[in-house]
Every structure is written in C-alpha cells, then in structure tokens.
C-alpha cells in the first residue's frame, strides 16, 4: 500500500467530528495564508514586539495588537484566523527569546 492510500484509509476511519474539525482548521489557515502578505506579517510582528515591552496586562497587550491588525493593517480576515495568527507570532517570538 502506498503512503497516499494509507493516508486516505486513515482519514476514512476518523470520526466525523474530527473531519469537521480538521476542515475548520484548514479553512482558518487557508484564510490566513491568502490574506497576510509578508509585509503585513512583519508589521504585525514589530507591533507585537513593541507592545510586549509595555507595562500592560496581557489582555491590554492583545487588544492593542488586535486593534492595530484590524484598523491600521486592515486585515479583513475572520476573528478566529486573526487570533490564531497573533498567537502563533507571539509563540514564535517567545521561542526565540525576542519577547
């Protein structure tokens, strides 16, 4: 059995709720990849770095980044996709010790 057939069989055996969940996750990620240019990504990353150094609560920091992405960058993506993007950038910056 080739790897693609094995994967197809695995997916067929998954419960329906898992397939729906994976489909939703894919939709969110596809939305992010379609709408976020590298320039917007770098601008958002810079804003996160600046806000991280401010003396604010985590909720206030998130709100500032959220407002910046919505208003200044005009990222017109679903809220869930934008939240996922912000959390992914924050996580990556923490992992490299930048924030």
Q: What is the pLDDT of residues 19-31, one digit of tens each?
A: 888 888 877 777 7
Task: Say what the pLDDT of residue 75 is.
Answer: 75
Structure tokens at 87: 């959390």
Q: Looking at residue 70, what DSSP letter applies? A: I
The number of domains in the chain is 1
Q: Tell me the C-alpha to C-alpha distance, in Å, between residue 89 and each of 3, 17, 71.
A: 32, 28, 18
3-state secondary structure of 42: helix
Q: Tell me the C-alpha to C-alpha distance, in Å, between residue 83 and each of 21, 42, 46, 86.
A: 17, 16, 16, 5
Task: Say what the pLDDT of residue 29 is.
Answer: 78
Intervals of the chain under pLDDT 70: none
Task: Say what the pLDDT of residue 52 is.
Answer: 95
Residue span of the structural domain in which 18 resides? 3-95
């Amino acid at each position: 059995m080739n790897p693609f057939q094995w994967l197809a069989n695995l997916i067929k055996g998954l419960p329906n709720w898992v397939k729906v969940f994976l489909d939703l996750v894919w939709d969110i990620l596809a939305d992010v990849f379609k709408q976020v240019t590298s320039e917007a990504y770098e601008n958002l990353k810079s804003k996160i770095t600046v806000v991280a150094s401010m003396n604010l609560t985590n909720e206030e920091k998130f709100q500032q980044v959220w407002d910046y992405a919505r208003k200044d960058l005009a990222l017109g993506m679903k809220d869930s996709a934008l939240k996922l993007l912000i959390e992914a950038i924050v996580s990556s910056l923490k992992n490299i010790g930048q924030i």
